[in-house]
């Protein structure tokens, strides 16, 4: 799941009691920060996060927890070993009704939506006419005869504009299509003990629910919940779409289980990077194509043959001729690898045309505000050119004890096992092109 939302700038204040005395200009800046905080959207779980010590930060226009008292490292490892609850209510949820709903979605995305069985979902890509990735979505063909669509929060406005525009075009020619935006909260329960924890609150047998499949059921007494077996951590997990008025109740029920910890954006980001999953706005955007990003598996065989999705001619030409740049995984020891850093060959020659990418702040998974922590990622202005020879995501891996990253290199340097270097503080450090995921995924498939 390429899920998290586009990056959004934020200003992190020092911990309470550690801030220096402000001058007049600093006081005005503080007032601006407070005003910005007031303008942020808040999820139904906002008060719960604060009551449990969540460090709230701006992310894609929302106020969300970065981490809790246990810190990023312990939260990450706990998710790998036990189970964590993430609030992902900032993501856009929509339903598509009507007899032309599949034709509607396939006119926008690269996936084979028509082949989805009832209750089955898929990751797919919304593309533009240049073959660029507008967003990554999860689309489910529900048992209730509508499509359930989940989009990134940072792309919500443009996704809605595109979908509404296309719906209007089809309706004008007699098409039967209706788009509904949901007000539900969305909770992600992730980790190896998820099934045991959730099964205690379900009458349905989770053992029959495979990865990327979905049911509507009652969860711990809360009816009308959509449970989809998926997630953004690489672990076995579910995302639960729950009516807003009952979201806190359900979250408290789940967090009442001792092995379930609340987790925030910092752990979510390092977990997804270990799983080799892209972050929209960092690793993919409207300047990258599925072929360059290594996401051609999202294109169904029928769709490739029909070439009836936006940007099909450009994307399929890249497949035939091979893309000039590719997204790769990197591992290293020594200083952490961060976004924007140049990727070079062992002789120090750039492995692509490394362009400047605007560094506009500290990202929403930085836990220190200075860029020196486990969760730090620099921010990119949008849109940006993801040039070959550039790191797009990177952090020390809590699970592996070494640095992991992903970035784009010229295709000739993309083979696993290739030795490259990354420039860190004007010094070159060896990095190895490594197959992803860095940590094996644990997605569940019913027998």
Per the annotation, where are the binding residues for substrate?
239
Q: Peptide bond preceding 383: is omega within 30 degrees of 0, i.e. cis? A: yes
Q: Which residues are CB-neighbours of 151 under 8 A, at least 6 positions away?
A: 91, 92, 94, 135, 137, 159
Rounded CA-CA distance 167/152 in Å is 20
Q: How far apart are CA 121 and CA 105, in angstroms?
A: 13
Contacts of 188 (CB under 8 A, 6+ apart): 85, 86, 87, 88, 231, 232, 233, 237, 238, 239, 240
Residue 165's CB is within 10 A of a number of other CB atoms, namely 10
CB atoms under 10 Å from CB of 289, counted, come to: 25
CA distances 426 to 360, 366, 376, 392, Å, are: 20, 22, 19, 18
Cβ atoms < 10 Å from Cβ of 378 = 21
C-alpha 341/C-alpha 355 separation (Å) is 10
Q: Which residues fall in the annotated binding site?
A: 239
Quick one: CA torsion of 73, 75, 79, 80, rounded to 10 degrees? 20
**How far lies 6's CA from each of 142, 283, 319, 373, in Å?**
27, 10, 27, 21
Strands 83-87 and 260-263: parallel
DSSP 15: P
Handedness of CA 289, 284, 329, 440 (dihedral sign): negative
d(CA 394, CA 60) in angstroms, rounded, equals: 20
Give Cα 3 distance to the centre of its chain. Answer: 2
Half-sphere exposure of 193 (CA within 13 A, CB side): 15
Residues 380, 339 contacting (CB under 8 angstroms): yes
Classify the C-alpha dihedral 96-239-6-405 as positive or negative: negative
């Amino acid at each position: 799941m390429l899920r998290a939302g586009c990056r959004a700038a934020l200003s992190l204040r020092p911990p309470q009691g550690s801030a220096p005395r402000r001058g007049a200009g600093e006081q005005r800046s503080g007032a601006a920060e407070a005003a910005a905080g007031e303008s942020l959207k808040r999820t139904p779980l906002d008060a719960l996060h604060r009551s449990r010590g969540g460090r709230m930060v701006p992310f894609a226009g929302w106020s969300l927890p970065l981490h809790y008292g246990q810190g990023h490292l312990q939260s990450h490892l706990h998710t790998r070993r036990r189970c964590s609850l993430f609030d992902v209510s900032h993501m856009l949820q929509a339903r598509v009704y009507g007899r032309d709903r599949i034709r509607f979605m396939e006119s926008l995305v690269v996936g084979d939506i028509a082949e989805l069985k009832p209750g089955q979902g898929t990751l797919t890509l919304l593309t533009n006419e240049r073959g660029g990735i507008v967003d990554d979505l999860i689309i489910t063909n529900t048992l209730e005869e509508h499509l359930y669509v989940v989009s990134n929060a940072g792309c919500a406005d443009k996704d809605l504009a595109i979908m509404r525009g296309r719906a209007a075009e089809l309706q004008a020619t007699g098409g039967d299509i209706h788009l509904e935006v949901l007000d539900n909260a969305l909770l992600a329960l992730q980790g190896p003990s998820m099934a045991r924890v959730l099964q205690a609150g379900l009458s349905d047998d989770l053992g029959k629910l495979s990865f990327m499949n979905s049911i509507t059921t009652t969860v711990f007494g809360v009816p009308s919940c959509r449970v989809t077996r998926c997630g953004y951590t690489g672990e076995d997990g579910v995302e639960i779409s729950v009516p807003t008025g009952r979201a806190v109740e359900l979250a408290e029920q789940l967090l009442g289980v001792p092995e379930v910890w609340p987790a925030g954006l910092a752990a979510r980001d390092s977990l997804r990077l270990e799983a080799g999953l892209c972050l929209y706005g960092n690793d993919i955007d409207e300047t990258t194509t599925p072929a360059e990003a290594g996401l051609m598996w999202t294109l169904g065989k029928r769709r490739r043959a029909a070439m009836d999705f936006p940007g099909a001619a450009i994307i399929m030409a890249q497949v035939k001729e091979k893309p000039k740049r590719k997204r790769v995984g990197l591992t290293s020891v020594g200083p952490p690898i961060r976004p924007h850093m140049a990727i070079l060959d062992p002789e120090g020659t750039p492995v692509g045309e490394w362009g400047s990418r605007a560094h506009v702040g500290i990202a929403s998974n930085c836990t220190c505000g200075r860029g020196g922590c486990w969760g730090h990622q620099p921010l990119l202005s949008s849109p940006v050119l993801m040039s070959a020879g550039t790191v797009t995501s990177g952090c020390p891996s809590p699970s592996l004890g070494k640095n992991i990253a992903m970035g784009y290199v010229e295709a000739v340097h993309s083979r696993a096992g290739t030795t490259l270097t990354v420039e860190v503080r004007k010094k070159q450090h060896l990095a190895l092109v490594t197959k992803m995921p860095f940590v094996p995924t644990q997605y569940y498939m019913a027998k």
